[in-house]
Amino acid sequence: MKQALLVFLGGGFGSVLRYLIAKPLNPLFQNFFLGTFLVNIIGCLLIGLFLGLSAKGNILTYNNTLFLATGFCGGFTTFSAFAFEKHSFLKNGDLLNFAIYMTTSIVLGVLAVVFGLWLAKQFQ
């Protein structure tokens, strides 16, 4: 039960932070959901860092990892909003921005995870 509570609390914090970041940033560009984009890339970096630190075994405990990676990152990042926003590009016939947003989100997301894992290796 304690682990479920940690995930719940982490997810709540992540969701609120996502809202606070995405709400003011998404309207800035007409054809680009900047807030969701940044949240997802930052979340990829953080989950790479948290899981990398967890893998070291002596920096983050299992409960810390549940709170930070499963809970916080799970609540912070948002695949459903990502998918909905891609649908809106397609619905409007905006194939160029669809392709740019999709490609940069996936490529930068994977690179951010790799960078987070690399950062975690730097801790002794």
Q: Which residues are annotated as a binding site for Na(+)?
A: 74, 77
d(CA 37, CA 33): 6
One-character DSSP codes across 16-81: HHHHHHHHHHGGGBTTB-HHHHHHHHHHHHHHHHHHHHHHHSSSS-HHHHIIIIIIIIHHHS-HHH
The DSSP letter of residue 103 is H
Q: What are the backbone angles phi and psi of residue 29, rounded to the nearest 5°?
A: -120, 135
Q: Residues within the annotated binding site? A: 74, 77
